[in-house]
Structure 1
Amino acid sequence: MVIQKKIYLPPPVQEREIFRYAGCREIKEEFRQQMEECLAETKGKFQYQVCWAEYPVHIDGDKLDLTFARVKSHALAKNLAGCEKILLFLATIGLGIDRLITRYSRVSPVKALWFQAIGAERIESLCDLFCEERDRELLPKGQQLRPRFSPGYGDLPLALQKEIFCVFEREKTGVFLNESLLMTPSKSVTAIAGIGTKKEIQKEEKCGSCQKADCPFKR
């Protein structure tokens, strides 16, 4: 399979998401100032990169042949129902934010918390930007991208990370997997998104906005 790689321009900052990741129940001016100071310090510290590839998928009950790996997951099988292909991707914003978090963990835990929240918002915004771009490319073909699904979510084993990293091992991603299956840089994401027809997507995702904690269509 052909692996593609792209460096993105910074996605628009979603301030409300940063406040949410920071655990702010209300947005006070003091909090806003702290956030803006930390955001300013991150300038030039991120590298928005995504690698991806498409694979055929075969589903038999809760058993999935993803081509690059075989896995058992009821939640992922439900998410991919009706799909014949998947999009596998690895996204990262680089080590810059990890360095800031480590530095300020010693001297200013409050700033470290803001950097954690900023990093979480940045990587999620990158994933959203990437998926929206792929979705626009699929639309003229009458296809649409399913919500992304990552190892460790629901009943999808975190151990799938090993097979995913085998796919991208020859690419200079700058992302590494340790023995505990954690990624470095920490603000990195691996995910699978199904590619299905628009009609199938609408049928399968009718509960996608529900608030059930175990809903496989929630990101």
Structure 2
Amino acid sequence: MYIDKKEVLRYLGHKNQIIQEQLNLLIDQCIEEVKQYTKPKYTFGVFDIKKNDEGVELLESNLIFKGKDIKEHLKNSDMCAVMAVTLGSLVDSKIRYYEKFNLTKAVIWDSCASVLIEKICDEAECEIRKIAKNIDLGITYRYSPGYGDFPIDIQEKILNTLQAQKNIGLTATENSILIPRKSVTAVIGFQDKSITSEHPGCTVCSNYETCEYRRGGDYCVN
């Protein structure tokens, strides 16, 4: 597992300032620790889809995606993949531990884990891309519950459909918060490979108004 230190620093709000040696060593230490305690897993399913007035129905499942934005995301698709990714519960436990005893280390750990979850998402997406390529199709970018008007309360149904608790130990609270916290679900459409899908960026994010990265002129990896 590789954690890009430059991305970790970006999450930490680094703006090319000089980093004290002690802090630099602590970041390196945290990167190695996160890799040691991470148990990354992912699972996904591929579904034929049907669009109607109610939303996007995933055939042979109980999933119906509602909202104009997810329908727009899948407008060129007759199939989609639904993925779930997690770094495992040990990462959450260590972050909570450091929040009590070493807040600086907790923040660095959190940043390292955020970079790593994106890398694991990329790995899952790469596998999905290969499946699409085998049937002469391309794929869209990832689109997650909470983006735009795609309701976050679909999380539990996604996890149930993927048997995510059994397969990767991923669950959701009654408020649709993923547990472990360093986890992601997302939808990827299969479409003609000649179509280029451009990610709409920060405007679709449910944290658009409150995002600390955007206020600082930056962005998160998601």
TM-score grouping bracket, smaller chain normalisation: 0.7 to 0.9
Once the two structures are superposed, the pairs formed by residues 1-219 of structure 1 within 5 Å of their partners are 10=1, 12-26=2-16, 28-30=18-20, 31-60=23-52, 63-67=55-59, 68=61, 69-169=63-163, 171-199=166-194, 201-202=195-196, 205=197, 208=198, 213-214=203-204, 219=222
| Paired letter, 2:14 | C
Asked if 2 retains the 8 angstrom alpha-carbon contact of 1:45 and 1:96, the reply is: yes
Aligned-residue Cα RMSD (Å) equals: 2.3
| Larger helix proportion of the pair | 2
| Corresponding residue pairs, total | 202
Note the C-alpha offset of 1:61.
Answer: 6.1
| Paired letter, 1:138 | A
CA distance in 1, matches of 2:24, 2:104: 13
CA distance in 2, matches of 1:184, 1:50: 14
- Per-residue displacement from partner, 1:182-207 (whole Å, max 9, x unpaired)? 111111111111011102x22xx2xx
Note the C-alpha offset of 1:180.
Answer: 1.5
CA distance in 1, matches of 2:202, 2:150: 17
Note the C-alpha offset of 1:176.
Answer: 1.7
| Paired letter, 1:64 | V
Q: Taking structure 2 as the reference length, what is the TM-score of the superposition?
A: 0.82
Ranges of 4+ aligned residues in structure 1 off by more than 6 Å: none
CA distance in 1, matches of 2:96, 2:104: 12
Say if 1:62 and 1:75 are closer, same or farther in 2 by CA, change over 3 A. farther
CA distance in 2, matches of 1:17, 1:60: 41
For structure 2, the 5+ residue unaligned runs are 206-220
- Per-residue displacement from partner, 1:145-167 (whole Å, max 9, x unpaired)? 21111111111001111211221
Q: Taking structure 1 as the reference length, what is the TM-score of the superposition?
A: 0.83
CA distance in 2, matches of 1:99, 1:162: 22
Q: Identity of aligned pairs, percent?
A: 22
Asked if 1 retains the 8 angstrom alpha-carbon contact of 2:140 and 2:190, the reply is: yes
